[in-house]
Structure 1
Amino acid sequence: MSLTFKPSVFRMTCLGAAVAMAVTGCAAGTGGGPESQGTSSFSPDAELSGKLSVMGFGTSDEIGQTRYDLATRKLSNVDIKLIEGQLNIQQFLSAVATGDPPELIYADRNQIGTFASRGAIMPLDKCISDEGIGIGNFLDTALGQVTFDGKIYGVPEFNQVQVVFADSELLVGAGLDLSDVDGSDWDRVSAATKAMMERKGGELSVIGHDPKLPEFLPLWVHANGGALISDDGRTAMLNTPEVVEALTFAASIYDMQGGFSEVKAFRDSTDFFGEGNQFATGTLGAMPMEQWYINVLNDVTPEAPVTFTTVKTKDGEPFSYSNGSAWAIPADSSNPAAACRFVKTMTETESWMAAAEARASEREKANKPFTGLFTANTEADQKIRGKFVEDAGAGNWNAGIEASYTANENSFALPANPAGSEFETAWQDAVNAVLNGKQEPQEALDQAQEEAQKTLDEAWESWDSKE
């Protein structure tokens, strides 16, 4: 995705809970079962008409608007209506249950497995092959998130990854460098936290390191050589030694700074998106954070002493935790051919290049660097970088660009499963129980493992029974 701020990332947890509530009360569609490949006809040469309602997508910036304009020109005889705003999951699944869904949806990739297992969306293999969508250009990790039980149920768009942000002045003042906070050596992360942390009048005044729990537990687990779930999405792995050790360590970083509650309260008191952000005020040593925040900092405080690197495994290898959005066609869509054509146009390389040109022009007018797009289409990403991404000038912004592209090329993702929101709730509840001092890591993760596996077993049993 672009390095521009996307507010939707802060809603993911809430949306996950909404999925959990919605799917239990809504009937499934009719076209998404294991044997269904859809009976619709797709052809890149077909003249299309009818209506196309699109739920969950908006044109709030030039990236969306440029591609949308191209899609509407390709579908000039189709009446397109955008239902803007974040995908309303309850509204969508209720529409599926009543047999009147939108023709196309734009959703978080971690929702695709649940939607597919409920029969709410159709497999897209025929759409992809017949319409000629260049699926081979897409990131494997992004495709993995939209591939359920061997079939592709979504076309990925944007890729959100993390890099390490650090205050270069705090690092130098403590005699440290980026290798002390990139996660490759956890003892050094602990030492760096203590070295940069400050307290005044008994209160925290500088956070040495923020591990960003609960949401980034998968990041720490992967760094430790573990995983939260098996590759086939059927087996929870929440209480393995690697996960327990990762949670224990990340929680200890908060404990040495007064506890999670104190760190979070101090973090929340800062002007995160304004001139009083933590790096401009020298109140945060380091943290992993999504790459879009680079543009936020460059826009509001271009002189801030912030520098960047990739998150590293204990073996020193760069990596990131991939998330993002995807297009999916409801099982009972009344115009799947138009939906497929729209998706192809929105995600093809030529459209991304046009959008990048529009973004680069806007950045030039504002005298700001263009830091690239991360689209999940690797061909588009490479061409955009080669044509539009230039020297970002003074400061460490070039390091941010380089770290973001490296992170994007070395990402992992959790596989699609039929109980995505419930699974996420299980491990996040465990993390919160530890952070709030209610349980020890092993106890909390043992409980989460039992709950998550029960939910997965039930969901997979329901799906497998359809075969």
Structure 2
Amino acid sequence: MTRARVRWIAAAAVLTLGVAGCNGPSIGSREPTGSAPANPFSTEVSGALRTSGFNPADEVGQSRADYAAAQLSGVTVTMDKTNFDAQKFAAQAASGQTPDLIQTDRAIVATLASKDLIIPLDQCYEAFGVKPREQYYPSVVDDVSYDGKIFGIPQFFQANALLANKRVLGQAGVTAADLDTSKPDAIVATAKKLYQEKGGKPTVIGFDADLPGSSAMWFTVFGGAAYDEQGKPTLDRPENVAALTWMKQLMDAQGGYPKVKSFKDSMDVFGAGNQYVKDQVAVQTWAQWYPNVLADTKDKVSLEAVPIKNSAGEPIAMAGGTSFAIPKSGKNPSAACAWAIKATSSEAWMAAADARIETVEKNKKLFTGLMTGSPVADQQIKDKYVKPTGNAEFDQVIETYYSVLAKPVTSGSSPVGQTVQQDLTNAVTVALTGEKTPEQALADAQESSLRAWEQATK
């Protein structure tokens, strides 16, 4: 998604200037006159449905697409399976040729909503009797909300946790109890103890906090945030400065960010010689999907998962992800609504889990869980399929990831969310490399993001 985020910034002016007057077919225009307008979304759907950005490349995606299509027998679905592209979408919106349904990063949703390019979906949920904050994690609903309305139908909430290499920890005399992120100074000391180098080059990373990618999560750990409840950037708030100062200390304790990044870039992250097999890391931040990758080398790794805790000592679950949204100029909003609701229903997710289990059993692999954007579906899948694997360490990892779901935390929503994320990435990078102090880096990032905010909220 990083490339799409960069392209979005380049396309922002096009979106602002080129499509401000594009009004395509509006569902609101169909409302009958009277004091109680009918819900413009119908559950009786037909015709053509064009989607973009959703690629059912694996059994999870394909089974959900098949389930949704089976529920909408009168609808012909055509998919553009390429990733969402801001420039392409801007051009489509300008010409009134947008697809009926898009899949995009949740961080983009509020930006699209603020530019009047997508429509609110509160009445879409209402038409199908779905209570969004019950069917989906409230935190991911918050991620796709703007100006008091919901603009997305979320997918996936694959929470982060610390994934520790028990062999490396044991060799250094470190235990999981030493990986308490509510004690950041202790984490720096532990990272330094675990870190190893040879000839001035890292051979073992002690504590990889996934920087700059997970910077916003570490802001949350320190009690900060990238923007406030209204979506206004708050990059330079004291808690964020403290978090970035800690990130710099953490990297400096392990040879410095450039060396750590270079070493990470050389790792075979998805292969048989991955960093846990080769004992190149002690602790890393990973989302729930990565243990599924490591299951291919289950006999060569020794793992333990540890929840990420905030400064109050409470485990938290944060995760990015995608969402469906309906373009304002789409021609079949009711079918788009119906398909997205069905594709993210508990029934669709159970069909996905059935398909994943079939693949797991066929290939004699471990099932490490399947986390969705829905607590209802997650619990159903866990109850039916998450059983002892025969590998006690993987069982502990799986259970830890499920346990943190009890404390989901929103990434927040802002009409300038993409700009803030890019400014944050730049700020963290220059602070970690020592080009600027954490205070100056975040002050400069705040100035840039605030300009974008002021333009977006005029």
TM-score norm. by structure 2 comes to 0.93
> Residue 346 of structure 2 aligns to which amino acid in structure 1?
T
- Whole-angstrom CA distance in 1 between matches of 2:180 and 2:395: 18
Cα offset, 1:186, TM superposition? 1.5
Q: Runs of 4+ in structure 1 displaced over 4 angstroms?
A: 35-40
Question: Which residue does the alignment assign to 1:322?
Answer: 319
**Alpha-carbon distance in structure 1 between the residues aligned to 2:275 and 2:425:** 25
Q: Secondary structure at the match of 2:321?
A: strand
Alpha-carbon separation, structure 1, partners of 2:29 and 2:260: 50
Deviates more, 1:442-451 or 1:395-404: 395-404
Query: Equivalent residue for 1:130?
Result: 127
Report the CA distance shift for 1:226/1:242 in structure 2 as closer, same or farther (over 3 A).
Answer: same
1:397 aligns with 2:390: no
Question: Does 1:376 find its partner at 2:365?
Answer: no
The farther-off stretch of 327-336 and 185-194 is 185-194
> Helix, strand or coil: the match of 1:97?
helix
Choose from 271, 290, 314 the match for 2:268.
Answer: 271
1:332-347 maps to which residues of 2 (within 5 A)? 332-347=329-344
Q: CA deviation at 1:36?
A: 6.0
Q: Which runs of 5+ in 1 are unaligned?
A: 1-11, 462-467
- Residue 62 of structure 1: how far off its partner (Å): 1.2
Deviation of the 1:445 alpha carbon: 0.9
**Distance of 2:30 and 2:407 partners within structure 1:** 34
The corresponding residue for 2:170 is 172
How many angstroms does 1:417 deviate by?
1.4
Structure 2: gaps (5+ residues): 32-38
Range with bigger deviation, 242-251 or 13-22:
13-22
Q: Which amino acid aligns with 1:237?
A: T
Displacement of 1:38 in angstroms is 7.4
Measured in 2, the distance between the counterparts of 1:227 and 1:108 equals 19
**2:224 partner letter:** G
Alpha-carbon deviations, 1:203-234, whole Å to 9, x = none?
22111111211111112211112222112212
Q: 2:277 pairs with 272, 280, 302, which one?
A: 280
- Within 1, Cα distance between the matches of 2:337 and 2:58? 23
1:237 aligns with 234
CA contact (8 A) 1:134 1:348 kept: no
SS in 2 for 1:450: helix
Q: In structure 1, what is the Cα distance between the partners aligned to 2:130 and 2:93?
A: 26
**Aligned residue-pair number:** 446
Kept in 2, the 8 Å contact 1:32–1:119? The answer is no
Give the aligned residue type for 2:400.
A
- 1:156-167 to structure 2, matched below 5 A, reads 156-167=154-165
After TM superposition, give the deviation of residue 61 of structure 1 in Å: 1.1
2:306 aligns with 309
Q: Deviations over 1:76-124 (max 9, x none)?
A: 2222101002112211221011111101111111110011111111111
Q: Name which of structure 1's ranges 219-228 and 331-340 shifts more when overlaid on structure 2.
A: 219-228
Aligned AA (1:91): K
Q: CA RMSD in A?
A: 1.9
Percent sequence identity over matched residues?
A: 35
Aligned 8 A contact 1:38 1:123 in 2 = no
Aligned to 1:430: 427
1:41 lines up with 2:64 in the alignment: no
**How many Å separate the matches in 2 of 1:156 and 1:331?**
18
2:30 and 2:181 mapped to 1: Cα distance? Answer: 46
TM-score normalised per structure 1: 0.91
- Code of the aligned partner of 2:6: A
| d(CA) in 2 for partners of 1:121, 1:252 | 42
3-state DSSP of counterpart to 1:114: helix
1:326 CA drift (Å): 0.8
Tell me the residue number matched to 2:184: 186
**1:326-354: CA deviation from partner (whole Å, max 9, x where unpaired):** 11111011111111111121011111112
What does the per-residue CA deviation read over 1:253-308, in whole Å, with 9 as the maximum and x for residues that have no partner? 11122211111111111111112111111111112111111110112344301211
Deviation at 1:395, TM superposition (A): 4.3
Check conservation: 2:179, 2:306, Cα contact below 8 A.
Answer: no
> CA contact under 8 A between 2:287 and 2:319: conserved in structure 1?
no
Q: Deviations over 1:127-158 (max 9, x none)?
A: 11113334231101100011110011111111
Hey, what's the Cα distance between the residues in 2 that align with 1:64 and 1:106?
A: 12
